[in-house]
Each structure stands twice: as structure tokens, then as C-alpha cells.
Amino acid sequence: MKLFEYPETILRRSFPALTHSNFRIYWLGQCVSLIGTWMQNIGQTWLVFSLTGSPLLVGLLGAVQFLPLTVFSLFAGVVIDKYPKKQILLITQFVSMILAFSLAALVFTQTVRYVYVLILAFILGLTNTIDMPTRQAFTIEMAGKKDLMNAIALNSATFNLARIIGPAIGALVMASFGAGWCFFLNGLSFLAVLMSLFKIRVNPYVRTKASNKVFREIQDGLKYIASESMLLQTILMVLIIGVFVFNYNVLIPVFSKNVLHQGEKVYGLLMSALGLGSLLGALMVSIKSKSGPKIKVLVSSAMMISIMLILVSFSSLYYYTAILLVITGIFNIWFSTTANSTLQITAKDEFRGRVMSVYSLVFAGATPLGNLFAGEITDRYGVNTAFLLSGVLTILLVLLIVALFSLNKKPIKMPD
């Protein structure tokens, strides 16, 4: 890169997805909205714990909000492939805004009850079941196939930056004005996304022929994934990583207390290290995304994550562990961005919604299975063993997939 270049040249070279006006408008809206989302997340957890004093009921809240994604994801894929994605997002974002304002109103009027929060969380979970895969499938319509990976990486960078900023702002707002204002400000943040969606002008892909039989549509989508080796092997690798790797919320607090013999501050530091690595990884991918996703990167990033988990299992120093988690966060994003891009570029237009709904199901649906696995191993053999076993199993299963599908022989075809 030359020492002096016009900002537009730097933008086009490092972040080409932002040169697409539709994606740029939407991305700016997301920058605002995601901060509000994280503010609500921290406020909702604090509110429920304040109302009940029960960690179990806090966990139940998360399970209720997560349950619709597991049960209804495949049905959501049929809807996404049948209707314009922009219209779907306008509905889901509007519903999410109303839910945030409703929770704020309950708090402001001092009529909030645990069961009300639970009901609103379940409705939000239903909304997210459609919203999440729709947003992913909509990205290619805004940025195109050539800059898709860059767009996904920028979305990841925004998400991880919001994960750092949102809770900090949320905690300050709660301490100064109360949790209700976190929900109210989150409701306002949805206006940014809604305004951006109204400004976007795209030529949406909508299937001209679609069956009215929902289960037949789901079956056709699953058969299509099974028939395309690139899709199937990527989905299987996402499943492996989801089950054996993304269990940080279970393992890191136990590791901080039982192995490092530290308290909440070090636990927060380690989680921040993971978030920092994710942010760095997203920025790195966005800059290096011009050549598109490569299956070798998918495999090597999974291997690097596994190695980091194994090294963590032998760590006894918190700063050494923090460094390892920064590296882990970097490769987490390399893996997830490559997997997401591979699925969207490989999938045919008429199946993209269903493919991404399966991705969401596998990615999020693996969480409870992984948490059960991590919790059981930690209880029986200790958290060091849980980290070690997670890393070893991931390496072995990824190598098995490499052997079965001969991953290195079939490159992903990129558009001209």
C-alpha cells in the first residue's frame, strides 16, 4: 500500500463491501442497532436476577429465548426462500422494536414480572429464528458474491465491537437510570435499521415456483445439502466446532476460579480477550477477503482453534491464558466467516434461505449439546481435561472429514 492514498482507494482495497451503497447503508444501521441489542442483553439478565435472585431462572430465560431457533429454524428457511428478504426483515426488526419498548414500559410502570419477561423472550426468540438466517441470506443481495466474504467479516467486526461497547454502556445506563432505559434505548436503535432498510434498493431473488407443502420444501432443502459435498462438509465442520469449541461460557468461569484461582476481574479479562481476538480476526478477514473463502482456511483455522484449546488446558497463568484466548478468538472468526461465505456462495439462489437456516440451526443448536458435554466432562474430570478433550476431539473429527470429502481437491468457484 502506498504511503498516501485517497480514502476511497483505501476503502475499495480493504473494505470493498462498503463500496456497495446498499450494504453500506444497512451496515451503518447495524452498527447502531447491535449496541442496543447488547445493552438489552445485559439489562435483561440483571433484571431477571433482581426479580428472582435465582441463577436457575436466569438460565431458563436463555433457554426459552433459544428454544424457537432449535425447533423452527427449518420452517424459517422455507419462508425466507418464498418471500423477499427485505420485507421479512422490515417485519422482524419492527417486531423486535415493539418487544423492546414493551419490556421498557413494564419496567417504567413497575408492573414487570418474571413470567412477562419470559413471554417476551420467547416471542423474541421466534422473531430471531426468522431474522437471523434472513439477514445472512440478504447480505449477498446487497454486496454480491465477489465481496460477500468481506461483507460477512465486516458484520462480524461490528458484532464483536458492539459486544465490547454495548455491555459497558448498558452497565453505565443501568447504574445511572435503571434497566428500563437499556430496553428503551434498544427500541430506539431499531429505528436505524428500519430506516436503512427503507433506503435500500435491491432486486430481490424470489422463487417463481414454490410448493405449498412446507415439509416437502424442508425435505428438498435437506436433500440438496446432502447432494452437494461442499455444503455438507461445511455444515458438518460447523457442527463439530459448535459442539466441542464454543463452550467458553461454561469452561472459562470454571477455569478462572478453579485453575487460575482468580475472581470476577480475571474472568472478565479472559472473556474480553476472546472478544478482542474476534474483533481482530474480523478485521483481518475483511482485509484479506478479496480472494474469497478457501476450504484450506476452514480446515486450518479449525486446527488452530483446537491447538489453542489444548494449550489452554496446560496453562496456569492468567496472562498466558489471555494471550491464547486472543488467538483463539481470531481463528474463531476466520472459521465462522469462511464457513458462512462458503455456504452462501455455493448454494443456489432458490435454496439459499434453507441452507442458511440449517447453518443457523447447526451453529446455535449445537450450543446446548456442547454445554452439556463441557459441563459433564468438567464435573467428572476437571476443566483442564474438558479443554484438552475438546481440542483433541475437534482435531480428530476435522481430519476425518478431510479424509472423507478430500477437501483440498475441490476449490470454491468465485464469480468473475
Q: What does the pLDDT look like over 209-254, one tens digit per residue? A: 666 778 888 888 899 999 888 899 999 999 999 889 887 777 887 8
Please give the DSSP secondary-structure letter assigned to residue 413.
Answer: P
Residue 1 domain-assigned (yes or no): no
pLDDT digits (tens, 9 = 90+) for 293-306: 778 889 999 999 99
| Cα 354 off chain centre by | 17
CA 221/CA 225 separation, integer angstroms: 6
Burial bucket for residue 40 (CB in 10 Å: 0-12, 13-18, 19+): buried
370 and 313 in one domain? yes
Evaluate whether residue 281 is within a structural domain. yes
Give yes or no: residues 311 and 190 share one domain: no
Residue with the three cell numbers 470429502: 405
- Choosing from 163, 178, 202, the residue where a domain stops is 202
Domain boundary, last residue among 139, 170, 202: 202
255 secondary structure, DSSP code: I
Q: Clarify whether residues 195 and 295 are in a common domain.
A: no
Listed in sequence order, the residues at least 6 apart from 352 whose beta carbon sits closer than 8 Å to its beta carbon are 80, 81, 137, 140, 205, 344
In-domain check, residue 5: no
Write down the mean pLDDT value for the chain: 84
**Count: domains in the chain:** 2
Which three three-digit cell numbers place residue 271? 472473556
Residue 399 confidence (pLDDT): 92
**Closest to 414 (Cα-Cα) out of 283, 227, 230:** 230
Categorise residue 382: left if φ over 0, alpha if ψ from -120 to 50, beta otherwise.
Answer: left
Q: Please indicate, yes or no, whether residues 315 and 279 belong to a single structural domain of this protein.
A: yes
Any domain includes 11: no
Is 335 part of a structural domain of the chain?
yes
> Residue 414 in contact with residue 146, Cβ under 8 Å?
yes
Query: Which domain covers residue 70, as residue numbers?
Result: 17-202
* 8 Å CB contact between 189 and 170: no
- Checking if the pLDDT of 165 tops 90, the result is no
CB atoms within 10 A of CB 62: 18
Distance CA 324, CA 56 (A): 31
The C-alpha atoms of residue 213 and residue 229 are separated, in whole angstroms, by 26
The pLDDT of residue 140 is 85
Res 7 pLDDT > 70 = no
188 and 250 assigned to the same domain: no
Q: Are residues 266 and 245 in the same domain?
A: yes
Assess whether 415 and 284 both reside in one domain. Answer: yes
- This prediction has a pTM of 0.76
CB 232 within 8 A of CB 347: no
Cβ 321 vs Cβ 137: under 8 Å: no
Q: Does residue 94 belong to any structural domain of this protein?
A: yes
Give 166 or 228, the one with higher predicted confidence. 228
150 shares its domain with 217: no
- Of 76, 81, 347, 344, the C-alpha closest to 211 is 81
Mean pLDDT of 148-163: 82
Mean pLDDT within 276-292: 76
One domain for residues 382 and 267: yes
Residue 160 · residue 282 · CB < 8 Å: yes
Whether 184 and 275 map to the same domain: the answer is: no
Residue 8: inside a domain: no
Percent of the chain residues past pLDDT 90, beyond the cut: 32
- For residue 104, tell me if it sits in a domain: yes
Which of residues 151, 168, 202 is at a domain's end? 202
Amino acid identity at 102: S
Query: What is the CATH classification number for the domain harbouring 220?
Result: 1.20.1250.20
Q: What is the mean predicted confidence (pLDDT) over 22-36?
A: 91
Lookup result for grid cell 438466517: 133
Cα 167 → chain centroid: 17
pLDDT over threshold 70, residue 380: yes
Report d(CA 42, CA 167) in Å as an integer: 6
Please tell me what DSSP assigns to residue 109.
T
Domain shared by 392 and 312, yes or no:
yes
Are 185 and 224 members of one domain? no
